[in-house]
Amino acid sequence: MTFKDIVVHQGEDTHAARRLNASLELAKQFNARLTGVYVLTYPTIPGFVQTDLPSEIIKQRYNEIRIDGEDKRTEFDAATAGEDIVAEFRVMEGDPADAVTLCGRYSDLLVVGQPDPDSPAVTDGLAEELLMASGRPILIVPYTGNQSQIGRRVMVAWRATREATRAVHDAMPILEQAEEVIVYSVNPEDRDHIAGADICTHLARHGVNATPRHIVAPDMGVGDSILSAVADNSIDLLVMGGYGHSRLRELAFGGATREILHTMTCPVMMSH
């Protein structure tokens, strides 16, 4: 099992180059095909407004949007030129989540960005949309920090759920090459059993030497506990299941998925 098709979202936000660099390193590591996707998002103009706007202004704005897409193509081609991988850039039209999801159906991994509160973008909710719709693992690249090396020191946020099991399976190509893997459980239900021992045994059968660790801190949020452990162990990739509860419940009451998406300090690979 390996990654042979990687798709990276390239958008109008200020951190597209960061995602491109991270996905390029992964493509070289796994000898994968890298596809950059830029979605032309045309403004929605109500009919009563459109009738008052000169057609030349509308055409000019549409041309500017298409030029932005070609500029991203130039940047992508320059970054991948000379690298020993197959690379392709696609300019698509429509809803970004729908377009990238479609590309994801024929890939092994989707690379997107973390929303930057200081630089909002129209695609800030893309990671959540792809997580729920694409059927593929999502690698979210933070808007800050150094991501020159992803997957050397990996932490798996573990609870015996369908989502976490899927995440471990999807991340296996990286886990098999990692120098260190920590399986981390927060407030495990069975205190008489070593938390994470069974999944570590399963990983060992795949040649992954994983170490189980856990914390009992009922007064601390799950997301905070995970992020604290990430920092304490110099983790460069967090693997976890996303939305074990419904999105509506997490919107109403909060949850680890949304908390980590907004406050993560290292790349996160999520599966649902």
Shared-domain flag, residues 257 and 159: yes
Shared-domain flag, residues 137 and 112: yes
Shared-domain flag, residues 183 and 135: no
Residue 148 belongs to a domain: no
Number of domains, the chain: 2
CATH number of the domain bearing residue 32: 3.40.50.620
**The CA-based dihedral angle spanning residues 138, 231, 184, 259, taken in that order and rounded to the nearest 10 degrees:** -50
Residue 177 belongs to a domain: yes
Local confidence pLDDT in tens for the 272 residues of the chain: 799 999 999 988 889 999 999 999 999 999 999 999 999 986 666 555 556 666 676 678 778 888 989 999 999 999 999 999 999 999 999 899 999 999 999 999 999 999 998 988 888 899 999 999 999 999 999 998 888 789 999 999 999 999 999 999 999 999 999 999 999 999 887 665 688 999 999 999 999 999 999 999 888 888 999 999 999 999 999 999 988 665 554 544 347 888 899 899 899 999 99
CA–CA distance, 135 with 137 (Å, rounded to integer): 7
Three-state SS for 214?
Answer: strand
Residue 146 belongs to a domain: no
Helices and strands: H and E segment counts in the chain: 11, 10
CA 228 to chain centre: 20
- Print the domain residue range for 123: 5-141
**Last residue of a domain, which of 118, 141, 164?**
141
**C-alpha distance from residue 208 to each of 77, 230, 232, 236 (Å):** 36, 19, 22, 17
Cβ contact 98:37 at 8 Å: no
**Last residue of a domain, which of 109, 141, 173?**
141
